[in-house]
Chains A and B, each alone.
Chain A
Amino acid sequence: MPDRLLTLFTRLYLGVFFLYLLFPLGYMMLLAFNNSRIPTHRNFDPTLRWFGEAWSNNRMWDGVENSLWIAALVLLIAIPLGLAGAVFLTRFKAPGKTAVYAILISPILAPGIVLGISSFIFWSQQLGFRAGWWTAALAQSSFIAAYCMLIFLARLQRFDPALEEAALDLGASPRQVFLRITVPYMRPALLSAAALAFLQSFENYTTTYFSIGAQSTFTIFIANSVRQGVTPAVNAVAFVIVMATVLVAAGYEIARRRGERRRERARRAAIAAEMQEELLGKPAAV
Chain B
Amino acid sequence: MTETIQRFGYVGVTLVIGSLVAWALLLILIPHLMLIDYALHASPGAISRGAPTGWTFHSFLPLFDPDDNQLRSTLARTLATTAAITLLCLIVCYPIAYYLAKVATRGWLSLLMLALLVPFWVNEVLRAYAWRSLLSRNGLINEAAAHVGLGPFEFFNWQIPLIDANIALFVGLVYAYVLFMVFPIFNAIESLDRNQIEAARDLGASWWTIHRRIVIPHAKPGIASGCIVTFMLVAGSFIVPVLLGGRSSFWFTQAIESQFSVLNWNGGSAYALLLELICLVFIVVMMRVFGVTLRDITRS
Interface presence of B162 (CB below 8 A)? no
How far is it, in angstroms, between the C-alpha of A138 and the C-alpha of B25 when the chains are bound?
A: 12
Q: Which of B19, B115, B138, B232 is A38 in contact with, Cβ under 8 Å?
A: B138
Whether the pair B130, A25 counts as a contact (CB closer than 8 A) is yes
Cross-chain pairs A/B with CB under 8 angstroms, 27 sampled: A17-B92, A21-B119, A24-B130, A25-B126, A27-B140, A81-B22, A84-B23, A91-B7, A93-B1, A93-B4, A105-B294, A111-B236, A113-B238, A117-B268, A118-B31, A118-B35, A121-B31, A121-B34, A121-B269, A174-B8, A206-B239, A219-B123, A226-B132, A241-B122, A246-B118, A249-B117, A252-B117
Number of interface residues of B (CB under 8 A): 90
Instruction: Give Cα A93 to B6, complex, Å.
Output: 11
Q: Do the beta carbons of A203 and B29 come within 8 Å of each other?
A: no
Q: Give Cα A114 to B256, complex, Å.
A: 10
Chain B positions within 8 Å of A64 at CB level: none
- Residue from B15, B23, B114, B117 in contact with A104 in the complex, judged by beta carbons closer than 8 Å: B23
| Known A110-B232, A203-B123: A81·B279 in contact at CB below 8 Å | no
A139-166 interface bits toward B, Cβ cutoff 8 Å, 1 = contact, 0 = none? 0011001000010000000000000100
- B239 proximity list for chain A (CB < 8 A): 205-206, 209, 223
Known: A84-B19, A94-B4, A114-B276. A119 touches B119 (CB 8 A): no
Docked pose: A238 CA to B287 CA in angstroms: 38
Those of A90-109 within 8 Å (CB) of chain B: 91-94, 100-109
The 8 Å CB contact of A205, one of B17, B24, B121, B238, is B238
With beta carbons under 8 angstroms apart, the residue of A110, A126, A223, A235 that contacts B125 is A223
Select one of A41, A104, A145, A205 contacting B124, CB under 8 A.
A205
Q: Is B148 an interface residue (CB 8 A)?
A: no
- Per-position binary interface string of chain B over residues 281-299, scored 1 when its CB falls under 8 Å from any chain A CB and 0 otherwise: 0010000000000110010
Residue B133 at the chain A interface, CB threshold 8 Å: yes
Contacts of B122 in A (CB 8 A): 25, 238, 241-242, 245
Count the A residues whose beta carbon is within 8 Å of the partner chain — how many?
90
Q: How far is the CA of A112 from the CA of B180 in the complex (A)?
A: 15
Pair A253/B114 contact, Cβ less than 8 Å: yes
CA A112 to CA B242, docked complex, whole Å:
16
User: Once the chains bind, are A105 and B20 in contact (CB under 8 Å)?
Assistant: no
A215 contacts B by Cβ under 8 Å = no
Check A272 for interface membership: any CB of B closer than 8 A.
no
Is A85 part of the binding interface, using a Cβ–Cβ cutoff of 8 Å? yes
- Binary contact readout A202-238 vs B (1 if CB under 8 angstroms, 0 otherwise): 0111100110000000010011001100100011001
**A253 touching B113, Cβ below 8 Å:** yes
Does B9 touch A at the CB level, under 8 Å?
yes
